[in-house]
Chain A
Amino acid sequence: MYKLKKQFLAGPYFIWMIGFILLPLAFILYYALTTADGAFTFSNIAAIADPVHVKSIVLSLKLGAICTLVCLVLAYPLCMILSSFRFRHQSFVVFLFILPMWMNFMLRILAWRLLLSNNGIVNSILAAVGIGHIKMLNTQTAVVFGMVYDFLPFMILPIYNSMVRIKPETLEAARDLGAGSFTVLVKIIFPLTLSGIISGVIMVFVPALTSFVISDLLGGGKVLLIGNVIEQEFMQGTNWHLGSGLSVVLMLFVIASMALMNVFDKDGGGTAVW
């Protein structure tokens, strides 16, 4: 009786999983594999081979990879600094870096749109110091910039968490055994933060790969990511079948990239995110 009661507690979650995870997935798959009159087809999936779609998914992978790399290069040294100096307001500084995450996402991107525009503050400053106007808005660079700005905290948090878990005496032991600063970094700090790096990479790369709002607002319709293509199919083209087909392909890319990261993650820390 008691056991049965306990199982009832899982009921709401079970309904949630069916209603909000499995059913939508099934619908997407159904749309992906049918035509408008309900006949079975692979053409929606195969549509990824269309040159336009190939171009946008390659661009998505490229910008996603650049964004992830930039985030990693920015976040890793920052986390090392934050975790090595045991100053008094350490957690407050970490909090400051995380704070933008709490602000509305659209608002932040719109702000960058104003800052980067041809008559915006950044260009005014550049003009004032004599560099002159640079076209920044509606370029791939602007999109990557927006992505980095938005997703950086997702890289910082897992790396910082794995960094502070390294005990100071572990580093002292390495130095005691003859390791210089570089050896300590390569042989001790890096392997011990690898699971954090993997979590961070997944948490930045996946949303960067699938994003469409950032490219919409900062790319001005000129930077067409796979997310934008899918969005258009649903919102403008109203071809839900093609949109679903491309979504399924995108999901396969996401799963493949996560599986690839998992190969590097020996101690399984990165699997926590999926």
Chain B
Amino acid sequence: MKRKLINLIGITKSYGNNVILDDLNLYIRENEFITLLGPSGCGKTTTLRILGGFETPDKGQVIFDDRDITQLPPNMRDLNTVFQKYALFPHMSIAENIAFGLKIKKKSKAYIEDKIRYALKLVNLEGFEHRSIDSLSGGQQQRIAIARAIVNEPKVLLLDEPLGALDLKLRQEMQYELIRLKNELGITFVYVTHDQEEALTMSDTIVVMNQGYIQQIGTPEMIYNEPVNAFVADFIGDSNIIDGVMIQDKVVEILGTKIPCVDEGFGENTPVDVVIRPEDVEIVAPGEGFMDGVITSVIFKGVHYEIEILANGYEWLADTTQCYTAGTSVGIRVIPFNIQIMNKPESEDEEAAEIDV
């Protein structure tokens, strides 16, 4: 495994009575694309601002490269930020914007010019040196903001919802560009977003946060396929989250029906949350599944149809490429491997986390 570059230890931050972060512990490895993902107010931006030096934690330490930088001001830190609203300097040309950090470091003129050309090439805006900021579109401005940050060769690039203001098509293009940049530059990216699709596309590691707590840390596949609790399951993609009871190993009861699953070790007759992804719900002829129901709505989504099925009092969500008509009676089947069983939240904190869903 790669070396740990940043270590956040016991970070606590509150504004007045409002606790934003509570004893947060997190490490970030070298050359990793790590995404802090969560709904607004979950503390992800505050975490990033503490990393950038714009906020000081009430308690805890920020260790960067084996050095305690908790009290270090932003201009002394070896990392750069790409802000949500670009934050370009309106009175400077594009070249001057990019050169800003380098001029402060007193680099030679030739070096700076070289770097500007290199950075503009990297973000696909060659020849834009002398344009003014106002003449750029949002996507172009954000790419200049990225160029301005990376010319300083930071060890870590912090990105605060940098694609939030862009339209869908541009956002997807920029996602690929960011992945390419990260691979070409070999620096650590810490990315903050509330967009789960963005997080799944780009990250090596996703940190799901809610209400100041880390809910789950893992690869995109782990987070999507094995969410640890109902919050994560619901936040990452659509899910059917159903109250269930674990009857015994490999048998769970939901909505009055016992169905086979692959999970073990929950004990007997334990209340659990059962998560089933919509694409894992198979629609079969009535009587052939473990449950029968009636289709209540069909919505065309492009690649697939999103279908709602009312069965045993629960509105199931199913994704399928087959077209059905509302009102049809169908059966529901899910293969045991695709049924996720999760413990009910135990602590009050986790309970609180669920309310916000």
Beta-carbon contact of B74 and A176 below 8 Å? yes
Residue-wise interface mask of A (169-192) relative to B, using a CB-CB cutoff of 8 A (1 in contact, 0 not): 110111111111001000110011
A167 interface contact, C-beta 8 A: yes
C-alpha gap A187/B105 in the complex (Å): 14
Beta-carbon contact of B152 and A178 below 8 Å? yes
Given A170-B89, A173-B89: A178 in contact with B105 (beta carbons within 8 A): yes
The interface of chain A, by Cβ under 8 A from chain B, is 167, 169-170, 172-180, 183, 187-188, 191-192, 267
C-alpha gap A206/B85 in the complex (Å): 39
Which of B84, B85, B91, B101 sits near A177, CB closer than 8 Å? B101
Beta-carbon contact of B104 and A178 below 8 Å? yes
Kindly list chain B residues whose C-beta atoms are within 8 Å of the C-beta of A175.
Answer: 53-54, 73-75
Beta-carbon contact of B152 and A192 below 8 Å? no
Q: Among the interface residues A175, A178, A191, which one has the most CB atoms of the partner chain B within 10 A?
A: A178
Residue-wise interface mask of B (132-168) relative to A, using a CB-CB cutoff of 8 A (1 in contact, 0 not): 0000000000000100110010000000000000000
Residue of B nearest to A195 (CB): B91
Kindly list chain B residues whose C-beta atoms are within 8 Å of the C-beta of A177.
Answer: 75, 80, 100-101, 104, 148-149, 152
Q: Among the interface residues B54, B75, B84, B88, which one has the most CB atoms of the partner chain A within 10 A?
A: B75
C-alpha gap A174/B101 in the complex (Å): 8
Beta-carbon contact of B101 and A192 below 8 Å? no
Beta-carbon contact of A167 and B74 below 8 Å? no
Kindly list chain A residues whose C-beta atoms are within 8 Å of the C-beta of B152.
Answer: 177-178
Please give 9 more A-B residue pairs, beta carbons under 8 A apart, in addition to A173-B88, A173-B148, A177-B100: A169-B84, A172-B74, A175-B74, A176-B53, A176-B74, A176-B149, A177-B149, A177-B152, A179-B100
C-alpha gap A172/B86 in the complex (Å): 11
C-alpha gap A180/B104 in the complex (Å): 9
B90 interface contact, C-beta 8 A: yes
Residue of A nearest to B85 (CB): A169
Beta-carbon contact of A267 and B91 below 8 Å? yes
Which of A169, A191, A267 sits near B83, CB closer than 8 Å? A169
Instruction: Give the B interface residue count (CB, 8 A).
Output: 24
C-alpha gap A57/B52 in the complex (Å): 56
Given A170-B89, A191-B91: A178 in contact with B83 (beta carbons within 8 A): no
C-alpha gap A178/B52 in the complex (Å): 12
Residue-wise interface mask of B (89-125) relative to A, using a CB-CB cutoff of 8 A (1 in contact, 0 not): 1110000000011001100000000000000000000
C-alpha gap A178/B89 in the complex (Å): 14
C-alpha gap A187/B92 in the complex (Å): 10
B87 interface contact, C-beta 8 A: yes
A126 nearest CB across to chain B (Å): 45
Beta-carbon contact of A179 and B104 below 8 Å? yes
Residue-wise interface mask of B (38-53) relative to A, using a CB-CB cutoff of 8 A (1 in contact, 0 not): 0000000000000011
Which of A170, A178, A180 sits near B101, CB closer than 8 Å? A178
C-alpha gap A68/B87 in the complex (Å): 33
B81 interface contact, C-beta 8 A: yes
Residue-wise interface mask of B (315-340) relative to A, using a CB-CB cutoff of 8 A (1 in contact, 0 not): 00000000000000000000000000
Beta-carbon contact of A192 and B105 below 8 Å? no
Kindly list chain B residues whose C-beta atoms are within 8 Å of the C-beta of A180.
Answer: 75
Residue of A nearest to B74 (CB): A175
C-alpha gap A143/B287 in the complex (Å): 100
Kindly list chain B residues whose C-beta atoms are within 8 Å of the C-beta of A192.
Answer: 90-91
Residue of B nearest to A183 (CB): B104
What are 24 A-B contacts defined by CB distance under 8 Å?
A167-B85, A167-B87, A169-B83, A169-B84, A172-B52, A172-B74, A173-B81, A173-B83, A173-B87, A173-B88, A173-B89, A174-B89, A175-B53, A175-B54, A176-B81, A177-B75, A177-B100, A177-B104, A177-B148, A178-B104, A179-B100, A179-B104, A183-B104, A192-B90
C-alpha gap A187/B81 in the complex (Å): 19
C-alpha gap A183/B101 in the complex (Å): 11
C-alpha gap A173/B52 in the complex (Å): 10
Kindly list chain A residues whose C-beta atoms are within 8 Å of the C-beta of B145.
Answer: 173
Residue of A nearest to B145 (CB): A173
Residue of A nearest to B83 (CB): A169
C-alpha gap A176/B91 in the complex (Å): 18
Residue of B nearest to A187 (CB): B100
Kindly list chain B residues whose C-beta atoms are within 8 Å of the C-beta of A173.
Answer: 81, 83, 87-89, 145, 148
B305 nearest CB across to chain A (Å): 43
Kindly list chain B residues whose C-beta atoms are within 8 Å of the C-beta of A267.
Answer: 91
B89 nearest CB across to chain A (Å): 6
C-alpha gap A188/B52 in the complex (Å): 20
Kindly list chain B residues whose C-beta atoms are within 8 Å of the C-beta of A183.
Answer: 104
C-alpha gap A265/B13 in the complex (Å): 44
Kindly list chain B residues whose C-beta atoms are within 8 Å of the C-beta of A172.
Answer: 52, 54, 74, 81, 83, 87
Residue of B nearest to A194 (CB): B91
Beta-carbon contact of A174 and B90 below 8 Å? no
C-alpha gap A178/B81 in the complex (Å): 11
| CB-CB nearest 8 A-B residue pairs | A177-B101, A173-B87, A169-B87, A178-B104, A175-B74, A191-B91, A176-B81, A178-B75
Residue of A nearest to B90 (CB): A192
B99 nearest CB across to chain A (Å): 10
C-alpha gap A170/B148 in the complex (Å): 13
Kindly list chain B residues whose C-beta atoms are within 8 Å of the C-beta of A188.
Answer: 89
C-alpha gap A170/B84 in the complex (Å): 11
Beta-carbon contact of B80 and A176 below 8 Å? yes
Given A169-B83, A192-B91: A176 in contact with B52 (beta carbons within 8 A): yes
A184 nearest CB across to chain B (Å): 9
A258 nearest CB across to chain B (Å): 22
Kindly list chain A residues whose C-beta atoms are within 8 Å of the C-beta of B88.
Answer: 170, 173
C-alpha gap A191/B88 in the complex (Å): 14
B314 nearest CB across to chain A (Å): 45
Kindly list chain B residues whose C-beta atoms are within 8 Å of the C-beta of A179.
Answer: 75, 100, 104
